[in-house]
Amino acid sequence: MREIKFRCWDKKEKKMFDVAQMTANSKGNMNNIPDRIPMQYTNIKDIYEYEIYEGDILKRVQKKVKSRNTGKLIKNGSSVSKFIVQFKDGHFNIRTNKRFEIIGNICEDPELIGKV
C-alpha cells in the first residue's frame, strides 16, 4: 500500500517541515493552510534513498557502464534531463524504473526552475 504523507514549505519562515496530519476542506482541497505550501510524497526515493516529493527538482542520473572492448567507464547516453515533480491528473510525472537525483525543490531553490 502506498504511504501518503506530506511536507510543507512555510512562506514566512522560509523553511520546510514535515506534516504529521492534514485535513481537507469541504471541496477536498488540502491547500487551505495560509502561508504554507503542501507537497505530497511520491513513494519513490532517489539514488541516495532520499524521499522524492512533489515540487522536487530532479536530474536523471546517467548510468555508467564498462566498455566490453577497453574496460573503461563510458556513459550510457549523453543527454541529461531535469524536471520538476508534479501531481497532475491523478498521478505523479515520475516512474520508478528511472534513476534520479534530487538537486533541489521549487521553494528552496527557485533559481533552478529556469534551468529545467
pLDDT of residue 78: 45
Q: Which pLDDT band, with edges at 50, 70 and 90, does 53 fall under?
A: very high
What integer is the mean pLDDT of 31-41? Answer: 79
Q: Which pLDDT band, with edges at 50, 70 and 90, does 68 fall under?
A: low
Extract the C-alpha cell encoding 61. Answer: 542520473
DSSP 72: -
Indicate the pTM of the whole model.
Answer: 0.72
pLDDT tens by residue, 75-113: 544 455 778 888 888 888 887 766 889 999 999 988 877
Q: Which pLDDT band, with edges at 50, 70 and 90, does 18 fall under?
A: confident
User: What is the biggest distance separating any 2 CA atoms in the chain, rounded to whole angstroms?
Assistant: 64
Extract the C-alpha cell encoding 37. Answer: 505550501
Where exactly are the structural domains of the chain?
Answer: 6-115
CA distances from residue 75 to 63, 71, 99 in whole angstroms, order as listed: 6, 13, 14
pLDDT of residue 56: 93
Residues 6 or more apart whose Cβ sits within 8 Å of residue 12: 35
**Residue closest to 105 by CA, chosen among 81, 80, 85, 88:** 85
pLDDT tops 80 at residue 62: no
